[in-house]
A and B are shown apart, each in its own frame.
Chain A
């Protein structure tokens, strides 16, 4: 009896608390911003650059809390366990958010997490040594057709962006490449410089900051050319169906009241339009690419199906 009473009381109290919070949102207390990666990474820099502008916009504070690990699962789990009152938001990364749903038992329900907005899109790219005979994807594909398995591609592990891009290229061009996992982009770059692998996968952001006399990019894997590399042709333009971008944005629980989520989205939208923010983003080499939460969300099932198909290739022993 007592237990039921206490539970009922707790329910009333928490409902009251939520109601009160809603009215004052967001000025009565800080909004916690969970970042799924360690400080200093691309996602962390993006949100730390954005936070002061959101603070000015919403007249509140956005303390950043890094919860790195398990490629984001720790942060998404923390978000799904937070109260749905709009005082907790988290970073959202695609494809990581989608690929972890494939064949992995998660400790949260992905359907409970809704994007607020996409902020940055950093396309994937393949780079070769500057002196390499491959000048375009077509050159590489032609060679790989003659010599199946002979082209080694440095990635950062199974199921990572670079690996998925490689699998898409294999499928699109009907070729056979060899994936070689490395511990990180720097290790892979060193191996490419030493000629131990023929090609490595990177993000355009990483490529633009590396030595252009040493490397050449073959293609970028976004739908449209990134602001960071307007002269680099996409894989689509070169006739290969490869889509792989690191998309980074903000998310909240889906059961956060609609008007709170709308206010958050509007604040992000305004901040991104602010020339001062755009300046800061340029300094940090952030390829801004705003997409509304609804559009981004609508796009998720198609992408998930696509990645699920690709993952079947991995299990098929590719």
Chain B
């Protein structure tokens, strides 16, 4: 089948009434949680993950993907109108977006954000469509040895890209690796860290950790704030940007899209990192960097394009190699696994409708989001007045039902609650939990692939440097390590994350 045939297959799958409905549902939910500060896509997807089991595989994944990129659209609304980031990746949008709103240009800021996101989403969708088949041909050459080297590189990259001190990120990864070891050892059948609990024989379920650390702890953390703080809405005016706005922003959108697509591919990368980087890049290339923060349209266009591009391109490593590059993709991996589908090259050849249906649905979803977000903006803004005392108990209930229904065990709910407290402690200690989740997912993969490699070669480790892909990954790892130790790089890294502290 040619590229066009496959894309047509994808559209025919994505456009069936059921799949279209789930795409719309995902986009709506994504916008909803994007608009509401405090509830992020990670927590939402964690909560909905067990429910997708009851949907056909493609519909479930389409919906979850819609939530992720939908949240990127919704987050900008709150950022511009209320000066609160609806989403972590919209933090930088508040800098110029809210200033624009105060100058009476809220409509222009929102439109540029939505159109920029749409453009970026379209480009990223095509990037997936092109990269998928190419990379997956190459993926069959990916044996256990290559996976080991890639995993080592990924875990190291995740520590660099996490915000906060490197040492904390490494600590979180190590905790994640430790949690990943719980259960019956695949290669010897020995019990590890189960403390005799039969419920831990198969390890800790990903959903338990995800809901605990992201869902529960997010609610605890939000309870600290005073209820629904009287949000001050900036007035919403003329929706369409001026010709000058378009002239100013198209370059920023292009750069944001390019940077976002690339950063989404990196292990540990994703929407948040992309929007911060795109903002810094815009400031660097701008002729008037001093005006950033006072309401320049590039300051909205670039990060919004970048976060949406990255949200989508981070699907590439997952769909082609089966490796989740960030915690959001780890959830997606779990959504595939629930249906017995292991993402990777075999899915592309054996179930092309899943891959191409998802790709096509992303483009349709982006189109839907422009419609959902621009004309209906007033509706979303009203949502900000829903009191959290009603919202949180409902979310908590869904979390518990979700965790319980996986294996019909109260043990898992208690375990998730424990992880909720742990996650809250991490927040207090300013430790980002993302690397933990990545360590938890990648750790067992790293371990089993290392064992496989050495079993196949009968104990000879030279295979890691003999195979070219593996060697390249290891060289990249060493370079990354060297960079981390260089003082000048450490300073730049700290600067890059400085704006986040605001």
**Chain A interface (Cβ within 8 Å of chain B)?**
38-40, 65-71, 73-74, 77, 107, 149, 152, 157-159, 178-184, 186-187, 189-191, 193-197, 210-211
Contact B201 A70 (CB under 8 A): yes
8 Å CB contact of B142 from A40, A74, A194: A194
Residue from the list B144, B199, B344, B346 in contact with A69, Cβ < 8 A = B199
How many A-B residue pairs lie within 8 Å, measured between CB atoms? Answer: 93
Q: Is the CB of A181 within 8 A of B345?
A: no
Contact between A196 and B144, CB atoms less than 8 A apart: yes
- Per the bound structure, the CA–CA distance linking A218 and B189 in Å amounts to 28
Q: How far is the CA of A128 from the CA of B94 in the complex (A)?
A: 57
Indicate whether B12 reaches chain A with its CB closer than 8 angstroms.
no
Q: Can you list, as one digit per residue, whether each of B184-199 has a CB less than 8 Å from chain A (1) or not (0)?
A: 1011110000000011
Contact digits for B430-472, partner A, Cβ 8 Å, 1 yes 0 no: 0000000000000010001001100110100000000000000
Cβ–Cβ < 8 Å partners of A184 in chain B: 342
Q: When the two chains form the complex, which single residue of A107, A178, A191, A210 contacts B144, counting CB atoms closer than 8 Å?
A: A191
Residue of B202, B340, B342 near A40 (CB, 8 A) is B340
Q: Which residues of B contact A179 (CB under 8 A)?
A: 455
Task: Say which residue of B198, B349, B350, B409 sits within 8 Å of A107 (CB atoms).
Answer: B198
Q: Is the CB of B143 within 8 A of A196?
A: yes
The B139-194 residues at the A interface (CB cut-off 8 A) are 139-144, 184, 186-189
User: A-B pairs with the 3 shortest C-beta distances?
Assistant: A70-B201, A186-B342, A196-B143
Contact partner of A70 among B53, B198, B340, B455, CB < 8 A?
B198
Q: Are B344 and A68 in contact (CB under 8 A)?
A: no
Please determine whether A190 and B342 come into contact, CB atoms closer than 8 angstroms.
yes
Which residues of the other chain, A, contact B189 by a CB distance below 8 angstroms?
157-159
User: Once the chains bind, are B407 and A69 in contact (CB under 8 Å)?
Assistant: yes
Partner of B140, one of A158, A182, A193: A193
The answer on a CB contact under 8 Å between B140 and A181 is no
A38 surroundings in chain B (CB, below 8 A) = 407
A178 with B456, Cβ < 8 A, contacts A69-B407, A193-B346 known: yes
B198 adjacent to A152 (CB under 8 Å) = no
CA distance A184 to B342 in the complex (A): 9
- Can you list 16 A-B contacts with CB-CB less than 8 angstroms, sorted by A residue number? A38-B407, A40-B339, A69-B199, A69-B409, A73-B198, A73-B201, A178-B458, A181-B187, A183-B448, A186-B342, A186-B346, A190-B345, A191-B144, A193-B346, A196-B143, A211-B350
Closest A residue by C-beta to B444:
A183
* Residue in contact with A157 in the complex, picked from B187, B342, B455, B456, CB distance below 8 Å: B187
Say yes or no: A68-B407 contact (C-beta < 8 A), given A107-B198, A178-B458, A194-B141. Answer: yes
Q: Are B202 and A70 in contact (CB under 8 A)?
A: yes
A187 to B349 Cα, complex, angstroms: 14
Which of A66, A158, A195 touches B188 (beta carbons < 8 Å)? A158
Asked whether any CB of chain A lies closer than 8 Å to the CB of B408, the reply is: yes
Number of interface residues of B (CB under 8 A): 35
Min distance, Cβ B65 to any Cβ of chain A, angstroms: 21
Q: Is the CB of A196 within 8 A of B346?
A: no
Q: Closest approach, in angstroms, between the C-beta of A156 and any C-beta of chain B?
A: 8
The interface centre, meaning the residue of B187, B339, B451 with most chain A CB atoms within 10 A of its CB, is B187
Given pairs A69-B199, A70-B199, A190-B342, 16 additional interface contacts (CB within 8 A): A66-B408, A67-B408, A68-B202, A69-B202, A71-B201, A77-B198, A157-B187, A157-B189, A158-B189, A181-B451, A182-B448, A183-B342, A184-B342, A193-B140, A194-B143, A195-B140
Which B179-234 residues sit within 8 Å CB-CB of chain A? 184, 186-189, 198-199, 201-202
Select from chain A the residue with minimum beta-carbon distance to B350: A211
Q: Which residues of B contact A107 (CB under 8 A)?
A: 198
B346-363 interface code vs A (CB 8 A; 1 in, 0 out): 100110000000000000
Q: How far does the alpha carbon of A77 sit from the alpha carbon of B199 in the complex, in Å? A: 12
Docked Cα-Cα span, A287 to B325, in Å, equals 40
- Residues of chain A within 8 A (CB-CB) of B451 are 181
Answer whether A180 and B407 are a contact pair too, CB < 8 Å, given A107-B198, A158-B187.
Answer: no
Distance to closest chain B CB from A93 (angstroms): 15
Distance of A59 from chain B, by nearest CB (Å): 27
Q: Which residues from A are CB-within-8-Å of B187?
A: 157-158, 181
Neighbouring B residues of A40 by C-beta, 8 Å: 53, 339-340
Inter-chain contact B408/A180, CB cutoff 8 Å = no
On chain B, the residues within 8 Å of A191 by CB distance are 143-144, 452
Residues of chain B with a CB closer than 8 A to A73's CB? 198, 201
**Cross-chain contact A190 with B455 (CB below 8 angstroms):** no
A189-B201 CB under 8 A given contacts A68-B407, A196-B143, A196-B456: no
Q: How far is the CA of A191 from the CA of B142 in the complex (A)?
A: 8
- Do the beta carbons of A158 and B455 come within 8 Å of each other? no
Residues of chain B in range 375-430 having any CB-CB distance to chain A below 8 Å: 407-409
| B455 contacts A65, C-beta separation under 8 Å | no
* Shortest Cβ distance from B145 into A: residue: A196
CB-CB nearest in chain A for B191: A104
Nearest B residue to A178 via CB reads B455
A158 near B143: Cβ-Cβ < 8 Å: no
Distance between Cα atoms of A178 and B408 in the complex (Å): 38
**A183, B333: Cα distance in complex, Å:** 14
The winner among B53, B340, B346 for most chain A CB atoms within 10 A is B346
Which residues from chain A contact B339 at a C-beta distance below 8 Å? 40
- On chain A, the residues within 8 Å of B349 by CB distance are 211
CA distance A85 to B458 in the complex (A): 54
Residues in B neighbouring A196, C-beta threshold 8 A:
143-144, 452, 456
Question: Which B residue's beta carbon lies closest to that of A106?
Answer: B198
Least CB distance from B187 to A in Å reads 5
B189, B199, B344, B444 interface centre (most CB from chain A within 10 Å): B189
Partner of A65, one of B142, B184, B408: B408
Q: Which residues of B contact A70 (CB under 8 A)?
A: 184, 198-199, 201-202
Least Cβ–Cβ distance between A86 and chain B, in angstroms: 22
What CA separation (Å) do A193 and B143 show in the bound complex? 10
Pick the most buried of B140, B202, B444, B456: most chain A CB atoms within 10 A of its CB.
Answer: B456
With the chains together, A65 CA to B189 CA distance in Å?
27
Complex Cα distance, B343 from A186, in Å, reads 9
Find chain A residues with CB under 8 A from B202 CB. 68-70
CB distance from A152 to the nearest CB of B (A): 5
Q: How far is the CA of A269 from the CA of B373 in the complex (A)?
A: 59
CB neighbours (8 Å) of B201 from chain A are: 69-71, 73
Q: Is the CB–CB distance between B342 and A187 below 8 Å?
A: yes
A74 touches B199 (CB 8 A): yes
Rounded to whole Å, the gap between the CB of A49 and the closest CB of chain B is: 17
Residues of A within 8 A of B458 (CB): 149, 178
User: A276 CA to B52 CA in the complex, in Å?
Assistant: 30
Distance from B430 Cβ to chain A, minimum over Cβ atoms (Å): 34
B140 and A69 within 8 A (CB): no
- Chain B residue numbers with a CB within 8 Å of A186 are 340-342, 344, 346
Once the chains are docked, how many angstroms separate the CA of A181 from the CA of B447?
A: 11
Shortest CB distance B208–A (Å): 13
Task: Write the nearest CB–CB distance from B206 to chain A, whole angstroms.
Answer: 13
Q: For the complex formed, measure the closest distance between the CB of A57 and the CB atoms of chain B, giving whole angstroms.
A: 26
Which residue in B140, B186, B198, B407 is a CB contact (below 8 Å) of A190? B140
How far is B344's CA from A159's CA once the two chains are assembled, in angstroms?
Answer: 27
